[in-house]
Amino acid sequence: MATDILFDLDGTLIDSSPGILASFGRVLAAHGLQPAVPLEASLIGPPLATTLRQVSGTHDEALLARLVEAFKQDYDTAGYRSTEVFPGVAAGLAQLAAAGAHLFIVTNKRMAPTRKILDALGLARHFAGIHTRDETEPMAPSKAAVTQRVLERYGIDRGRACFVGDSDEDAAAARENGLYFIHAAYGYGAAGIKAGSLRLDRFEDLPGLIEGLEDSLDYFP
């Protein structure tokens, strides 16, 4: 069993799209705006300000700042409550933890709703660390930077660790930190399957997939 497994959150462990998209819609309407692009799950993943700039179409930095704050207020009180766990996640995390793996969250999501969601869904207890871009001041510039900080903080052996995520950004965070990438193909992202990485179609297959890697001669490049 891999010693350390880093997980993206949205689109990998949880389906947060209903709540996020509803919050986007309410915030835009409250500011007299129409969505500049369709409000769909593929938007989810990048930092909040980046996505709000895209969905609002605004180039007004002051307006964008107001939209960001309005979204935080709406999502942290109402939107997050619509989050659901993907099938197989709860049992799969419990199985991995019981087998001795150390599990970590690495997400662009802010810490406040991340904690609320993990606590509400009963998942927080499985993780040795929960890490976000906004847990430091200044905010981490990227998910890759958060990943690097996690590896250094916990003394993680890159040769015995992997990153599980659904997006190109997740794949990049793994690649830039020398981690094996497992693509959660059921998620929101469009991460391509590069040579040497694995495709995960159902979360319940992850424990067996990781165990299988240990029997491979090319385990974790």
Tens-digit pLDDT profile for residues 46-78: 889 999 999 999 999 999 999 999 999 999 999
At 91-106, the pLDDT tens digits run 999 999 999 999 999 9
CATH number for the domain that contains residue 45? 1.10.150
Q: What is the side-by-side order of every strand in the sheet holding 161-165?
A: 129-132, 102-107, 4-7, 161-165, 180-184, 198-200
The residue out of 65, 82, 99 marking a domain boundary is 82
* pLDDT at residue number 221: 45
CATH number for the domain that contains residue 103? 3.40.50.1000
Q: Are residues 58 and 166 in the same domain?
A: no
Tokens (6 digits) for 138: 């200044």
The residue out of 82, 105, 124 marking a domain boundary is 82
Q: Which residues of the chain have pLDDT under 50?
A: 217, 219-221
Active-site option among 8, 15, 166, 170: 8
* Contact status, residue 93 vs residue 126, Cβ threshold 8 Å: yes
Which domain does 67 fall in, by range? 17-82
Supply the pTM of this predicted model. 0.90
Tokens (6 digits) for 23: 């919050």
Q: Is-catalytic flag, 8?
A: yes
Rounded Cα distance between 46 and 86, Å, is 20
Q: Are residues 36 and 135 in the same domain?
A: no
Q: Backbone phi, then psi, for 7, in 5-degree steps?
A: -120, 135
* pLDDT at residue number 34: 97
Q: Are residues 153 and 188 in the same domain?
A: yes
Q: Are residues 129 and 196 in the same domain?
A: yes
* pLDDT at residue number 217: 39
Q: Backbone phi, then psi, for 183, in 5-degree steps?
A: -90, 115
* pLDDT at residue number 196: 56
Rounded Cα distance between 25 and 42, Å, is 15
Residue 219 lies in a domain: no
Please name the amino acid found at residue 108. Answer: N
The residue out of 82, 104, 129 marking a domain boundary is 82
Residue 62 lies in a domain: yes
